[in-house]
Amino acid sequence: MALSDPAIKKAKPTDKPYKLADEKGLYLLVNAAGKYWRMDYRYGGKRKTLALGVYPDVGLARAREKRDEARKRLADGIDPSELRKVTKTQQAESAANSFETIAREWYTKAYAGKAESTREKTMTRLEQDVFPMIGAKPVSAITAGDVRAVVERIEQRGALDIAKRAFNYIGRTLRYADSRGLVARDVSASIDLNLILTNRATKHHAALIDPIAVGGLMRAIDGFTGSFITLCALKLSAMTFVRPGELRHAEWEEIDLDDATWNIPGRKMKMGVDHIVPLAAQAVAILRELHAVTGRGDYVFPSERGGSRPMSENTVNAALRRMGFTKEEMTAHGFRAMARTMLDEVLGFRPDFIEHQLAHAVKDPNGRAYIRTAHLPERRKMMQEWAGYLDKLKVGAEVIPLHGQTAA
């Protein structure tokens, strides 16, 4: 008789282990330590047992799926137990020879005796810009496309020098791997870095990225004398760095002030995927105050002309011009570039955390798209620290210069 979920839940341990049979060799082994899925089968004339997981982590339906998968392998003449051993061995070898593992090995040898500041700067760049994208891949599986993707991602934020350094680190790691017989060749050797970095005609939105200049911007926003709704839009543009269209189309039903979260539906996002914006305490305070003004309507930032329309797309840019910032200095979209650069270059947050919060198409080392909740605790911490940093810049405190710059 086949097992059922109620029967499994009711099963209690006794003085001796016992089995609850299902079908086709599957059974549940119950003992004092827990409940374990097992499958008995014969291979090569010998009786063998395959472990299929622990209940309730593996439920009845999943246990049956695993059993059927094992039976298919047996039908193909493959011993599922031996296949599992081989797979584990391959996975262990893959982890031992991942790009990150080999890069750290190269780094330990290549940077022995180097100044601590040099060692720290190199490892920081690897950990922030390289490992999140290709660190988990086996070094033998790294392609020229992987290398280009790393370089281009860094270049997109305007950090050309860092892009060149990352390319150099990757190439040196691959050549070290080649010397150990782990790769057939250094795939980065086929890349003309100058062509990649100079042929991209990317148009960047004007943005302030110098800490002192950003401090001046935040003071100007704080002293803005126009509409209260526009003032709130300016402040939240800086704190949340969402796209201007996402900000002006924000609706109160998307915002959970108690949970400090703004959930933007995919239909409003450039990439068509739902997006989560963790709200810093300062952002929540602004929204609570704004709710008293616009909370009876749908839009957080309704049009000043009334009706059921959102704020005009020109409102934030017009406010910036009114405060004296030209279109060559700062734009509504520039708040994104400002945050992206300073979170990385000044506050030192991991690029993949930043890219997730910018709602860019970030993928894991296996090419799979991350889910919208990826790194959410880290992103909450980042958003709160960013809001705090903007407050400090506004009062002229803790001005940390960008790399390669000196504070005035």
Task: List the catalytic residues.
Answer: 243, 270, 333, 336, 360, 370
Q: How far apart are CA 281 and CA 301, in angstroms?
A: 19
Rounded to 5 degrees, φ, ψ at 93 are: -65, -40
Strands 46-55 and 275-278: unpaired
Beta bridge partners of 284: none
Q: Is the alpha carbon torsion for 302, 303, 309, 315 positive or negative? A: negative
Q: How far apart are CA 170 and CA 126, in angstroms?
A: 9
Q: How far apart are CA 163 and CA 169, in angstroms?
A: 10
Strands 34-43 and 26-31: antiparallel
Beta bridge partners of 26: 39
Q: How far apart are CA 56 and CA 61, in angstroms?
A: 11
